[in-house]
């Protein structure tokens, strides 16, 4: 069973542009919530994130052994998630006019 957590306190953001195959553009916000400890006995931390546009939205989280690992994994997962969303919605993301979105691969 998949558990979710709210985005909570957002402490990092990035604004991207998404260009659909028909040329329509829209702003996309990438929001990262502060990592939270969900199980102290297991040292399990979750770091939620949200990719939000007018035409689509994806919220998820990464799991780490501490807050730093959860945060790092989220930034890596965001990169993969953006590639999947681009394929799914038949378009491309750009950051400051460039195709390099500056998330870790």
DSSP per residue, 25-46: EEEEEEEEEPPEEEETTTTEEE
Q: Is the pTM for the entire model greater than 0.85?
A: yes
Q: Give the tens place of pLDDT for each residue, 4-45.
A: 678 999 999 999 999 999 999 999 999 999 999 988 788 899
């Amino acid at each position: 069973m998949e558990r979710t957590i709210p985005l909570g306190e957002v402490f990092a953001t990035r604004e991207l542009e998404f260009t659909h195959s028909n040329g329509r553009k829209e702003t996309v916000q990438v929001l990262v919530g502060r990592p939270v400890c969900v199980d102290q006995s297991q040292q399990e931390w979750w770091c939620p994130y949200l990719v939000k546009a007018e035409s689509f939205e994806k919220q998820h989280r990464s799991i780490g052994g501490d807050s730093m690992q959860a945060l790092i994994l989220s930034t890596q997962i965001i990169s993969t998630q953006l590639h999947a969303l681009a394929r799914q919605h038949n378009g491309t993301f750009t950051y400051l006019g460039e195709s390099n979105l500056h998330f870790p691969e």
